[in-house]
A and B are shown apart, each in its own frame.
Chain A
Amino acid sequence: MNMRIPILKLNDILIVSLQWELDDQTAIQFQEDLLKKLHDTSAKGVVIDLTPIDFIDSFIAKVLGDVISMSGLMGAKVVITGIQPAVAITLIELGIRLENVMTALDLENGMDKLQQELEA
C-alpha cells in the first residue's frame, strides 16, 4: 500500500510531481526521502508540483511547510507549483497561510523562477 513518491534530478534541481492523493505515511516518507536526496545530491533547489492534488488538509500542509523549512536549513530553495483554485481557497479557509513560500503557476514557471533565484 505504501507508495514512494519519485524524486527526479535535473542539473542541481530536484523535481517532485505529486500524482495521487497523499496518505499520512506516504507524506512522512516523502519528507525523509527528499531530505536524504538533498543531502546525497547537494541539489540547490526543489520544485514540488501539486497540479493533480485536489485538496490539502492541515496534516499535509504541515508536512509541506516542514519540508520547505528543512530544505531551507539544508541550503536548498523550494518552489511549489500548480496549486488548484479549490486547494488555495480551502487552505485559506483552514487558516493556513504558506507565507514566505515561493510559488508558481506551473512546473515550467517554477523551474524558471528557481533558476533565477539560484543565479541571483
Chain B
Amino acid sequence: MAYRSSVDIHTEWDIVAARQLGRNEAKKVGFGTVDQARITTAISELARNIYLYAGAGKIEIERLNEGGLFGIAIIASDEGPGIPDVRKVMEDGYSTSGGLGAGMPGVKRLMDDFRVDTERGKGTKITAIKWLR
C-alpha cells in the first residue's frame, strides 16, 4: 500500500514545510543521510519552481513498496503556465528568472526516475522517484 501526504505551495514558508515533510518521510522509508539530503534538495527545487513560475500548486510525497522494493516519490503539480520547451529547461544553466538554472537538471541527477508532464496554459506535473538500495 502506498502512503501519500502533501503540502500545498502558496508561500515561501510552504517550501520549508514541503522539504521537512519529505525529509521525515525519507527517514521513515529508511534512507541514509546522503539520500535524505538528495530528496530534501529535490523537493526544495520543485517546490520553489512551483512558487516562482506557477504561483501555487502542491507537493505530494508517496512512500513506495513495489514488490519488496521500497522508495519515495515526489509529485510536484501545478496549474501554471506549463513549460513550453522541456528540453531547454533540462539544460544546465537555463533560467528565465536569473537563477542558476540548476533545479530541473539537478533534480534529475539527484533522483532515480524523473518525468515531466506539461501542457501550455494547463500546468505541469513532475514525478521524481528515489529507490532504496
Contacts and interface: CB of A to CB of B under 8 A. Distances in A.
A84 B32 CA distance: 14
A90 B110 contact: yes
Contact of A93 (B36, B48, B100, B109): B109
Contacts of B100: 58, 61-62, 96
A23 B109 contact: no
Interface residues of B, number: 25
Contacts of A86: 33-34, 36-37
B46 to A, nearest CB: 10
A12 B38 CA distance: 37
Given A1-B13, A21-B16, A58-B45, A96 B102 contact: yes
A73 interface: no
Nearest to B51: A24
Interface in A52-97: 54-59, 61-62, 84-87, 89-90, 93-96
A25 interface: yes
A55 B34 CA distance: 9
A23 to B, nearest CB: 5
A58 B103 contact: yes
Main secondary structure of the interface of B (DSSP, over half): helix
B123 interface: no
B15 interface: yes
Contacts of B45: 57-58, 94
Interface string A7-18: 000000000000
Interface of B: 12-13, 15-16, 19-20, 33-34, 36-38, 40-41, 44-45, 48, 92, 99-100, 102-103, 105-106, 109-110
Interface of A: 1, 21, 23-25, 54-59, 61-62, 84-87, 89-90, 93-96
